[in-house]
Structure 1
Amino acid sequence: MASIKYRLKKNKSDWASIYVRFKQGNQFDTEAITSLDCPVERWSDSKQEVLSTQLLSYKEVNKKLSEFKIYLKNEYEATKVVEQTILINNKWLKSKIDLFFNLQNIEQKEKEKIYFTDYIDAFILDSKTKRSRLGNPIKPRTIQHYNTTLNKIKAFENEKNVKIKINEIDLDFHNSFIEFLENKQRLNNNTIGGYLDDIKLFCNNADKKGIQISNDVKSTEFYSPTNKTNDIYLTEEEINKIFNCTFEFDYLDNARDWFIIGLRTGLRISDFLCLTKNNIDNDGFINKTTFKTDYPVIIPIHEQVKSILKKRNGEFPRKISDQKFNEYIKIVSEKAGITEMVEGSRIDKVTIDDGKGKKTNIHRKVNKKYPKFELVSSHICRRTFATNLYGKLDTLTIMKITGHSTEKQFLSYIKITPKEYAIKLKALWEKQKE
């Protein structure tokens, strides 16, 4: 009968690793290290266990040693009922030690190959130390979006009372998931499209690792929904109204100055709100490496920005948070008379019914007509800059200033309406007639 015995490997330390010896007459005699160790003085060779000690959880160690003996005997007996001959040697013993003492890790790794949310968890964890092809770390905002997508999938699983496998991400899932996000979560198409983009990324990554995915993911029917947004921009006349407006309170004057700087530089809020005079070079240009894309841009200083800097003795306005900026520029725009009713989207309170009589208030983007100042936010700065220069400068020049890498990205910022194009054409014909 096979025998299993533990021993400590002698060394100069006060602690030693526990080894297991597995022997069956003349058939095999092999030994390997376990993942456990204990104080040398507290090991009992006769009892085959760790004696009482405060230096470690000795009861837990002894329990594992006892359970491993049973596990190893069962694994050995299982080899006798299979058709092929299994060689019991050091490699076999090590594999059994790995499977037993790291059982939870092994189980999790197996789950990551089967279940979608487990795979995404591992993908996100890996993303925190991963580098792009250019050697840059994955942006925290990107990882945050991965987590949001994961949470939406978990919410979908809870709604359907299922745990979705990776190979079940197919057109049926696609259609049900979109319906859930539209009707239950009340999300718009662009937001839903962002989640579907992540899902396709996760699936393609799994495919590259040899994990089976559905062919549906690669079909054109597995699309990411989108819709045309009614984003607004400010005309030159409206910008000038804001610039020339006088404010009673300093906090509004300070916010207005930052607003003008954003509108006249085309930078994102994460870039223009941290400008200092150190960003101005000897030739009078603003130099800034953008936070989001790590792209260096050089921007000439507009006359209105020069006026603001002169008013402040060469310094940029006082620092404020993104939240306060977005709050204050709505007040600034209203006081400057930007009150025209326009079609647009903003976050509003929406009441949803779960179908069982329970109503919940959530906040979602709602598209309808609002006074224009209510739709003003930091995003309008970059959009306004690109729109007002479009057609006056060549596209490539504007892109070099805004930092857009593709024309498609850039054109998504152009918000000139069809009627405005028609008015431009009418003005041209009037000029030609004169």
Structure 2
Amino acid sequence: MATIQFRLRSKANKNVSIKVRLSIDRNNVFELNTGFSINPKDWSETNNLPKQTTPENKLLSSDLKKLDSYIIENLNTDLGKSILIDSNWLESKINDCFSRVVKTDTSLLINHIQHIIDNANTRKVKNKIGLSASTIKNYTLFRNIISEYQKKIKKQIQFIEITKPFVDKFTNWLINTKNYSTNYAGKQLEILKTVCIDAEKNEIQVAPYSKIIQHFRESEKDRYIQTLSFEELELILNVDLSNIEQLNQFKKENPELTKNLSITPESLNNVRNWILLGCEIGQRGGDLLEITRENIRYNGKNYYIDLIQQKTNKSVTIGIIAPHVIDIVENNLPKKIPHQKLNEYAKVICKLAGIVEVVKGTKLNTETNRKELGNYPKYELIASHCFRRSFASNYYKKIPTPILINITGHSKESLFLTYINKREDKDANADLFMQFYEKLNKDKEPQLKIIKSGTND
């Protein structure tokens, strides 16, 4: 006759695992952890159950008795069906009794994030294979955030645990404890949802809510973007960067702004050309800095820049028409510098050019490593991402939006408009259509149409 016994294997003065021992006969004895633990001083050696001295012990005793009955009931049923009774069978019954999810490596959130990173080069995305470097970076940062959160809650996160209460607590931690911006916190939730959906496609059990996690972005009224207008670009183009005495004086007066920078006519002119070029071709800083002579094409009449965007892997061609940019392309193509240095130098150039108006925006607090909203001189907020936005904002409504989108690489107009903090202007679109229609038809000769009267007279 089969017997079940609960017992402890240690008498240490700390909580130890409670084992369940199933004995069917002399050759079939199996022992596994029940998933419960207890301090040996609270354990009765007489009846092999917790002492009935506290409410907690009474509840634990009730759970063990429930497990005892569940195992015996299923054992009799499965023996009648000739089902193999072994350690795996016992483990499944322990989990089934308490509706536990079996914790395997694949069911861990952080392991699947790592799986995505490890297989980045073979993952299929919209009929393409391989994740971009920026996407891999986002997954890596997300993995680090999840690792930190697991240390905070002192447990590994299972996919089945990603319920609404979990997401609410995680969101609270991202915003209120880590002080991440609204956009950055929302991005982490977007990645979390993507990982959960991908896990389910790989036949990993996930919580139903994980597939409908709501992410968020800053509202338009809360977004403050910085761009350089055509007038400000004219100031940058014309600022004198050749006077060494003035540059030395500027460095003395602005030690924090110029720290670790070489304030010479050569270095500043190099960055000025990057700014002017960047504001005319609408590319991300990383793509801008990779431009060399090999990217420039001349067909005998016009200059073109051909490149493949790192983030989207899109092939883009930009026509060069502004005279000062043609001069840069022909004679003064700037030398590559580190991206961070470009951002630091850009602030120096803008201050030298007199772009000092106080504006509202976000600036990195180096002590907290978080962006803070405030009123700052505009030059302090200028960085390489402003060049791309300047292009998009300056030419919006002057050039048809589909053409601008093809250059910036945005996948749809709504994303482009969000990028420059604009709403769709349907009247402007209609006006633009009529303007192009008039241009198409202005040189056409009016044609006389003869209408027959219906008689031979």
TM over 0.5: yes
Determine the structure 1 residue equivalent to 2:279.
Answer: 263
Matched, 1:383 2:389: yes
Determine the structure 1 residue equivalent to 2:443.
Answer: none
Structure 2 distance, partners of 1:408, 1:173, is: 31
Question: In the alignment, is the contact (CA less than 8 A) between 1:111 and 1:118 conserved in 2?
Answer: no
TM-score by length of 1: 0.66
* CA shift in 2, pair 1:86/1:231, >3 Å: same
- SS of equivalent to 1:286: strand
Residues matched between the structures, number: 310
Which blocks of at least 5 consecutive residues in structure 2 are unaligned?
1-24, 31-74, 89-101, 243-264, 425-457
Question: In the alignment, is the contact (CA less than 8 A) between 2:355 and 2:379 conserved in 1?
Answer: yes
Structure 1 distance, partners of 2:193, 2:234, is: 45
Which blocks of at least 5 consecutive residues in structure 1 are unaligned?
1-73, 96-108, 350-360, 419-434
* CA shift in 2, pair 1:203/1:348, >3 Å: same
* CA shift in 2, pair 1:164/1:311, >3 Å: closer
Matched, 1:223 2:214: yes
Q: Which residue of the other structure, out of 232, 236, 243, is the alignment partner of 1:238?
A: 232
Question: In the alignment, is the contact (CA less than 8 A) between 2:132 and 2:312 conserved in 1?
Answer: no
* CA shift in 2, pair 1:121/1:381, >3 Å: same
TM-score by length of 2: 0.62
* CA shift in 2, pair 1:110/1:408, >3 Å: same
Q: Sequence identity of aligned pairs in percent?
A: 30
- SS of equivalent to 2:419: coil
Q: Which residue of the other structure, out of 310, 314, 325, is the alignment partner of 1:295?
A: 314
Q: Which residue of the other structure, out of 340, 351, 358, is the alignment partner of 1:334?
A: 351
5 Å matches for 1:25-424?
A: 77=28, 83=79, 85=82, 111-219=104-212, 222-228=213-219, 229-248=223-242, 249-283=265-299, 284-301=303-320, 302-312=322-332, 316-349=333-366, 361-415=367-421
Question: In the alignment, is the contact (CA less than 8 A) between 2:417 and 2:423 conserved in 1?
Answer: no
Question: In the alignment, is the contact (CA less than 8 A) between 1:290 and 1:296 conserved in 2?
Answer: yes
- SS of equivalent to 1:238: helix
Query: Cα distance, 1:262 vs. partner?
Result: 0.4
Query: Cα distance, 1:162 vs. partner?
Result: 2.7
Question: In the alignment, is the contact (CA less than 8 A) between 1:233 and 1:415 conserved in 2?
Answer: no
Query: Cα distance, 1:406 vs. partner?
Result: 0.9
* CA shift in 2, pair 1:76/1:390, >3 Å: farther
Equivalent AA in structure 2 for residue 367 of structure 1: L
Question: In the alignment, is the contact (CA less than 8 A) between 1:299 and 1:401 conserved in 2?
Answer: yes
- SS of equivalent to 1:230: coil
* CA shift in 2, pair 1:290/1:143, >3 Å: closer
Query: Cα distance, 1:76 vs. partner?
Result: 7.6
- SS of equivalent to 1:362: coil
Question: In the alignment, is the contact (CA less than 8 A) between 2:122 and 2:129 conserved in 1?
Answer: no
Structure 2 distance, partners of 1:209, 1:362, is: 39
Query: Cα distance, 1:117 vs. partner?
Result: 2.1
Structure 2 distance, partners of 1:253, 1:197, is: 41
Q: CA RMSD in A?
A: 2.8
Question: In the alignment, is the contact (CA less than 8 A) between 1:236 and 1:388 conserved in 2?
Answer: yes
Question: In the alignment, is the contact (CA less than 8 A) between 1:232 and 1:415 conserved in 2?
Answer: no
- SS of equivalent to 1:297: strand
